[in-house]
């Protein structure tokens, strides 16, 4: 009996990082980024702290990009 092609597992992408439970008891959680990659695992508190750090770093990187007005104030 010939086996047909296996269905590919679906990869879900999120619009922002998400914390998902890993067990039925809700004691272990996983943090995934926007592309569905695993960032870390741990308790809900640990994943929440990692998520806060991720969001703060993203905010800082956006603020550090120089504006046109910033370039005018730089000496040659």
In a domain, 3, yes or no: no
In a domain, 27, yes or no: yes
Q: Which domain holds residue 25?
A: 18-63
> Tens-digit pLDDT profile for the chain (76 aa)?
566 666 555 556 668 889 999 999 989 999 998 888 999 999 999 999 999 988 887 666 666 655 555 555 555 5
This prediction has a pTM of: 0.58
In a domain, 45, yes or no: yes
In a domain, 6, yes or no: no
Cβ proximity of 59 and 42 under 8 Å: no
Q: Which of 33, 7, 11 is nearest to 20 (CA)?
A: 33
How many residues in total does the chain contain? Answer: 76
Q: Which residues pair with 30 in a beta bridge?
A: 20, 41
- How many structural domains is the chain composed of? 1
The predicted structure's pLDDT at residue 45? 95
User: What are the strands of the beta sheet with 18-21, ordered from one edge?
Assistant: 18-21, 29-32, 38-42
């Amino acid at each position: 009996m010939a086996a047909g092609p296996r269905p590919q597992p679906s990869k879900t992408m999120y619009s922002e990082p998400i914390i998902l439970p890993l067990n039925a008891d809700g004691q272990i959680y996983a943090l995934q980024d926007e592309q569905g990659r695993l960032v870390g695992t741990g308790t809900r508190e640990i994943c929440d702290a990692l998520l806060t750090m991720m969001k703060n770093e993203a905010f800082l990187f956006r603020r550090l990009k120089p504006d046109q007005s910033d370039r005018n104030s730089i000496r040659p």
